Structure 1
C-alpha cells in the first residue's frame, strides 16, 4: 500500500520533501505539502470507487436484438411480407380447378317444356390451355335443337392461338405476386435497416452523454475535496481568502455542468427508450441503473480496422434493399409490358369437345377426334385501329423508363452516402488521434500546474484554467470517439446491411 501511495504521489507531482513529510512519522508537517497530497488521495479514491454500484450494462447488440424482436415498426415490416404472401395465394386461385353445375327446368300449363342438368369440371393450366369435362342430362317436349337429348358426356379444351398464348392476365398476376413477395422482403429489410440505424444513433448519443456525465461528476467530486482543502489551508494561514472564492466558483461551475450533463443523459435515455419495447407491445423505460457498455472507450481508434470503400460500394449496389426494391418493381412492370403487348395481337381462340353418349366421357378417346362425336369452334377478333392496345403498351414502356431513372438516382444517392460515411470514419479516426495527443499534453500541463501550485509558484486561477481546458478537451474527445463508432454503423447502414 505504501509503495502504491508513493507511486501515486510521484505521478501527481509531489516533491521529495513532501514524500518524506507524509511517510516519516513524527516529522514536522509542511502545510504547503498537505494540500496536494490529500487532494491526490481523495481524487484517486474517487476515481477508483466510481462505478462500483449495482449497474446493468446495455450493449448496442442487445438494443438491436430488442428492436428486431419487439419494436412495432419491425413487426409492421414483417406484416408487409405476410400481406404479399396473402396476395400470392390469392393469385394462385386463378389456376384452381373449378366445378360448376347448371340445372334448369320449365313446366307450364301441364307441359314439360325442358330440363337441363349440366355439371362441369374446368382445369386451367399455366400454358393457357383450359381442360374441361362435363355431363349432360337433357329432356322435355320443347328441348332446344342444339342440345343432345338424354344423357351424354364430353371432354374438351380451349386454347388461345395468338392473343394470350404467351401470357395472359391470370399468369401475369401470379408472376407479379411472386415478385411482390421478394419486394416485400426487400421493403422489410429496408425498414429494419433504417430502424436499426436510428436506434444506433440514439444509443451512441446516450453513450456520449453518459460519459460526459461521468467525467463532470468526477470533476465535481475532485473540486469538492479541493474546496475543503483550500479552506483548511486558509484557516491554517497558508492561502488567501480569495482562493476559497476561486475554488467555490470553480466547483459551482462544474456542478452546473454536471446538472446539465445529467439532464442530457436522462433525455438521451428517453430517446433510446423509444426503441425499447417488451413483449405484447409494452413500452420499456430505461431505469437509472442501466448504463452503456464502456468497452469501446479502451479501443485504440486510430488502429481500429475500417471497411474497404470498394467492398462497401459493391455490397451496396448488389444487396441494398432499396435498390432491390426498384429491381423487383422493374420486373413487375416488365411482366405488365409483356401483357400489354398481347393487346396488339388479334384474338384467335380454338375450342374442342369430344362427345359421348351416356356418362362415359373417356370412351373412344383414341379414335380420330374429327371423325365423329365432336364439337369445335374458332373465334377471331381484331380491333381495326389498335388504339387502346398501342396506348397501354406505350404507357407500360414509359413506366419502365421512369422507374429506371428512379433506380439510377437512388443508386447514386446510396453510393454517395457510403462514400460520405467512409470519409467520415477516416477523418474521425485521424481527429481522435490528434485529440488524444492534445488531451495528454493538456493533462501534463495540468499536472505541472498542480506541482507549481503545491510549491506556491502558481495560483488557483491558473490551475482552474488548466483544469477547464482538460475537461473541454476530454469532452470533445468523447464526442469524437462516439461519432467514430456511430459512423462505422452508418457505413453499414448506407450499404443496407443492418439487419
Structure 2
C-alpha cells in the first residue's frame, strides 16, 4: 500500500524539477519572423554571395565598353648596320572607335634611312594625317563590338534577376526553418502543459488515496500517465532543440560570424496571423499579368533579346566585307586649311567567303536557340501559373482544416473538463480522463501541424511570386 506512495512522491519531485527547467522559457523574449528575416537578409553569406552575381554583370558590361575605348598606338623601328642607317621609322596613331563600325584616326609618321622604301618617304618634319575608316556592308549596322556591348547590358539585367531569385531561395529556406522551429516549439509547449496536468492529477489522486477516497490503482495509473507525458516531453524537446540548431544555420553577424540561437528566445506564435504581411504576399487572381515582372520570366525574355541581337549579327555576317578608309595628309598640323582633297591616302578592301558555310551555320544555330528559349518561356509561364493556382488552393484547404481542427480542440477540451469534473465527484474514471486527454493532445498536435502547413504553403506562395527579397 505504501510502496506506490513513495514512488508517487519521487515522481512528483522529479517532475517538479523538470517542469521548473522547462518553465524557464515561458517569459522569455520573442524572436519574430520579421526580425529573423532582417538578420538573414543583411548578414547571411549566401545572400551576400548572390549579390556577386550582379557584380559579375557590371564587370562584363565594363569589359564590353572597353571595346569602344580610344587607343594610342606607336610603331617604331630602326636598323643600322656597318655604320649605315638602313631605316628609322616612327608611326604613331590615335584611334577612336564609334558605334556603327566607324573609326576615326589621327596619325603621325616620320621615316628616314638610306634603304627606306620610296613609298615610306615623308617630309622632313614628318607627315600628319586625319581620317576615317568604316565598314560599308558587313559590320556596319551590326558588328561584334556593338553586339557584345548590347548583350552585356542585357546580361547585367539578367544577373539582377538571377540575384533576386537566389536571394529569394535562401530566404524561403530560412522561413521554412523558422516555421519548423515554431511548430516544434508549440508541440513542446503542448506536451509540457499536459505533463503539468498529469503531475497535478497525480498529486490530487495521491491526496484522495491517502484520504481513502481513491483506490491505489488510480495512483499507479496516474503515475504511468505522468511517465508517458515525461517521455513525450523529452522527445519533443529533442525535436525543438534540433529545430533551433537548424534555424541557427541562417543566423550570422558581420565579418561572416556565425551565431547560435539563444535558447532564451522563442518563436512568435502570432506568425499565422501576420505571415502575409511579413512575406509580402497575399492571395491574388491568377493570370498572365501577374507574371510580367517575375524575375524568371524577365530573365528568359532578356536572354531572348540577347539571341535576337546575335541573330542580327549573324545575318549581317552574310554580307561581303567592304572596308573603306580615307585620310587627309599634311606636313603642317598647325594649319587646318592645309588638309585638302588633293593630299590624301585612301583604301578599299573587299572580301567574301564563297559558300558562307560558317556564317549560315552560326545563323541556323542562333535560330534554334531562339526556338528553344520560346519553348522555355511558354513552359515557365504555364508552370508558374499552375504552381500559383495549386498553392492558393492548398492555402484555402489548410485554412479550412485549421478552423475545423480548432473547433475539435475546443470540443475535446470540454470533454476532458467534463470527465475531470465527473471524476472529482466520484462518478468517472481516471482511465477515461486519460483517454480523453490523449485524444485532446492528438488533436492539438494535428492543429499545430495543419497551421504549420498553412504557414509553409504561404511561404511557398511567396517563393513562387518572389516576394521574400
Assess if the C-alpha contact under 8 Å between 2:275 and 2:455 holds in 1: no
CA–CA separation in structure 2 for the residues paired with 1:114 and 1:123: 29
What SS class does the counterpart of residue 118 from structure 1 fall into? strand
In the other structure, the counterpart of 1:333 is: 307
1:219 Cα deviation from its structure 2 partner: 1.0
In the other structure, the counterpart of 1:452 is: 422
In the other structure, the counterpart of 1:199 is: 174
**CA distance 1:491–1:312, shift in 2 (3 Å):** farther
Greater shift after overlay, 243-252 or 135-144? 135-144
In the other structure, the counterpart of 1:429 is: 399
In the other structure, the counterpart of 1:247 is: 222
In the other structure, the counterpart of 2:318 is: 344
**CA distance 1:306–1:174, shift in 2 (3 Å):** closer
1:330 Cα deviation from its structure 2 partner: 1.3
Match of 1:324 among 291, 298, 309: 298
Root-mean-square deviation (CA, aligned residues, Å) is 2.3
1:242 Cα deviation from its structure 2 partner: 0.7
**CA distance 1:71–1:230, shift in 2 (3 Å):** same
In the other structure, the counterpart of 1:133 is: 106
Match of 1:91 among 56, 61, 64: 64
Are residues 1:219 and 2:194 paired? yes
Assess if the C-alpha contact under 8 Å between 1:153 and 1:361 holds in 2: no
In the other structure, the counterpart of 2:245 is: 270
Match of 1:382 among 347, 352, 374: 352
Match of 1:103 among 76, 80, 95: 76
**CA distance 1:338–1:218, shift in 2 (3 Å):** same
CA–CA separation in structure 1 for the residues paired with 2:325 and 2:183: 76
**CA distance 1:298–1:311, shift in 2 (3 Å):** closer
**CA distance 1:492–1:110, shift in 2 (3 Å):** same
1:257 Cα deviation from its structure 2 partner: 0.8
Assess if the C-alpha contact under 8 Å between 2:286 and 2:385 holds in 1: no
Assess if the C-alpha contact under 8 Å between 1:164 and 1:342 holds in 2: yes
CA–CA separation in structure 1 for the residues paired with 2:281 and 2:114: 92
Q: Deviations over 1:317-367 (max 9, x none)?
A: 1222222221121122221111111221111111111001234474434x5
Q: Deviations over 1:215-235 (max 9, x none)?
A: 111111121111111011111
Are residues 1:187 and 2:157 paired? no
Q: Deviations over 1:264-322 (max 9, x none)?
A: 11111111111111111111111210110122467899xxx98344257633x122222
Q: Deviations over 1:462-482 (max 9, x none)?
A: 011111111111111112123
**CA distance 1:109–1:399, shift in 2 (3 Å):** same
In the other structure, the counterpart of 1:410 is: 380
**CA distance 1:56–1:312, shift in 2 (3 Å):** farther
1:113 Cα deviation from its structure 2 partner: 2.0
In the other structure, the counterpart of 2:4 is: none
- The aligned runs of 1:52-201 (5 Å cut-off) are 55-150=28-123, 151-201=126-176
1:187 Cα deviation from its structure 2 partner: 0.6
Assess if the C-alpha contact under 8 Å between 1:155 and 1:362 holds in 2: no
Are residues 1:358 and 2:332 paired? yes
1:93 Cα deviation from its structure 2 partner: 0.7
Q: Deviations over 1:135-162 (max 9, x none)?
A: 1112222221222322110001101010
1:53 Cα deviation from its structure 2 partner: 5.4
What SS class does the counterpart of residue 146 from structure 1 fall into? helix
Structure 2, unaligned runs of 5 or more? 1-18
Assess if the C-alpha contact under 8 Å between 1:312 and 1:495 holds in 2: no
Assess if the C-alpha contact under 8 Å between 1:158 and 1:350 holds in 2: yes
Q: State the number of aligned residues.
A: 446
Assess if the C-alpha contact under 8 Å between 2:320 and 2:352 holds in 1: yes
Structure 1, unaligned runs of 5 or more? 1-45
What SS class does the counterpart of residue 239 from structure 1 fall into? coil
1:54 Cα deviation from its structure 2 partner: 5.4
What SS class does the counterpart of residue 319 from structure 1 fall into? coil
